[in-house]
Amino acid sequence: MKNQVQLITYVDRLGSGNIKTLHQLLRGPLAGLFGGVHLLPFYYPIKGADAGFDPIDHTRVDPCLGSWEDIRALGQDVDLMADLIVNHISSSSPQFLDYLEKGDDSIYKDLFLTMSSVFPNGATEADLLTIYRPRPGLPFSYITLKNGQKRLLWTTFSRQQIDINVLHPMGREYLHSVLRTLHENGIRMVRLDAVGYAVKKAGTTCFMIPETFDFIENLTHQAQELGMEVLVEIHSHYRKQIEIARQVDRVYDFALPPLVLHAIFNRTAYYLKQWLSISPRNAITVLDTHDGIGVIDIGADSSDPQNYPGLIPPEELEALVEQIHLNSNGQSRLASGAAASNLDLYQVNCTFYDALGRNDRDYLLARAIQFFSPGIPQVYYVGLLAGENDMDLLARTGVGRDINRHYYTLEEIAQAIQRPVVQSLFRLIRFRNQHPAFNGAFSMPESPDSRLILRWDNGAAWAVLEVDFAAGTFSISGSPLEGAEPIEALPGAHPDNRYGGIAT
């Protein structure tokens, strides 16, 4: 993966078009901004129950978006990442329909997990309550097969997403066939979606258990043998993120977004500094994604008997969530928790721009911290345009995460790009991509809790971000950057410092 800012986007929501439309945007108004693009699920069907995360055919591009040829053409310009949806398959998939029709006579009967396949001797109440749940209720769906047989299928996320037996030879071959298809069509990196839930074992939480780590290691080796890098997506206690980072190419830094918000809200970098001193260096840093703003990532580990503390105290975590609701004028409250369907209990659904009360200065500050933090930055398409909560889409679908999944028309994109905050963000992105200091070593010089200093050094090249949370100001300075946009072109540059940076 190039050490440049990455874009994460739905194909049909940035330009409301298809793969070719996205390609034209990346060659036009978004040219030079991104070293790579994470294409959120583009498999058939894109209009499923979970925005593409419930594929009927994981090896087929939805025709309304284009073809594998279009994917390969896009991959000639930017490195591409795609999702390997590890945990489940659609209830409308040919494999499951065959099982539904034939029951135990189906060749696919061992592909799907039932309650009895995990608990052959039955499950006690304690067994069921031990299972870690991201959503309300138990992870089972009752169905009757065509032959009258009844089953309790394991469905971690919804009735339309049937969990597969990833440890069975049939499950392994299914996943490897998807990997081969992605590799053959120019995908250079895969994200293991929902992999933390993939392995189930009686008497455990069925989430990130030792067998899960073994499975991730094996699957990672398969991808690497095909020449693909692996990114693991796990919302969990920060200790698990650090542990999994040791055996894969990349992990998300999901702790960064809420800690940045906490620092801005409370005018202290105390907890943010603690995290940046231990955070995985092979991280993909984010502020926003297609899901909500995670809070479990900085909270206590309730799934562990020792109940390891989080990165911030529980009362401050609660206050953080309430401040997001306040800043968004209550909109995030309508899209989070039990207020909307098909969402995870550990996330607050809100655009990052709205979480900051649509404050341009704070938003650019948050992005500057992200770009200077250890790892490779990834920017979500809504965040790229400083997008606001889409309450109309939320009202139409009732799906909480849709508040941050707006369908941008080409006209809306053209208008958004003219906004000063977006133009400033573009300049920050180019600075992060072009300055050689970011290919060197990261350090965090000592400073009071109200201040934060992030520094990169690479030989004679250097770049520094200095933040004064108490005053609400920040500045960027660095060594001269020949042949690239000068630092003084960044918003609010110090007039008395040729290589000064943002002073807000």
Which contacts (CB < 8 Å, 24+ apart) does range 440-445 have? Answer: 442/281, 442/374, 444/273, 444/276, 444/277
Q: Known binder of ligand: residue 428? A: no
Annotated catalytic residue, options 193, 288, 362, 390: 193
Annotated catalytic residue, options 233, 249, 253, 466: 233
Which contacts (CB < 8 Å, 24+ apart) does range 475-480 have? Answer: 475/500, 475/501, 475/502, 475/503, 476/368, 476/431, 476/500, 476/501, 476/502, 477/501, 478/435, 478/437, 479/437
Q: Known binder of ligand: residue 214? A: no
Among 110, 262, 131, CA closest to 206? 131
Q: Known binder of ligand: residue 347? A: yes
Which 8-state DSSP code applies to residue 287?
Answer: S
Q: Known binder of ligand: residue 221? A: no
Residue 101 is among the residues annotated as catalytic for this protein: no
Q: Known binder of ligand: residue 290? A: yes
DSSP β-bridge partners for residue 455: 443, 464
Q: Known binder of ligand: residue 291? A: yes
Question: Is beta strand 36-39 parallel, antiparallel or unpaired with respect to 6-9?
Answer: parallel
Residue 402 is among the residues annotated as catalytic for this protein: no
Report DSSP letters for 384-409, one per residue. Answer: HTTPPP-HHHHHHH-BGGGGG---B-
Cis peptide before 45 (omega within 30 of 0): yes
Q: Known binder of ligand: residue 193? A: yes
Among 306, 303, 295, CA closest to 235? 295
Q: Known binder of ligand: residue 167? A: no
Tokens 């795609």, located at residue? 82
**Is-contact 380 9, C-beta < 8 A?**
yes
Pick left, alpha or beta for residue 307 (phi over 0 → left; psi -120 to 50 → alpha; otherwise beta). Answer: left
Q: Known binder of ligand: residue 432? A: no
Q: Known binder of ligand: residue 97? A: no
Q: Known binder of ligand: residue 191? A: yes
| Strands of the sheet with 441-443, listed across from one edge | 441-443, 451-458, 461-468, 473-478
Binding residues for sucrose: 88
Q: Catalytic amino acids?
A: 193, 233
Binding residues: 50, 88, 191-193, 233, 290-291, 344-347, 401
Binding residues for substrate: 50, 191-193, 233, 290-291, 344-347, 401
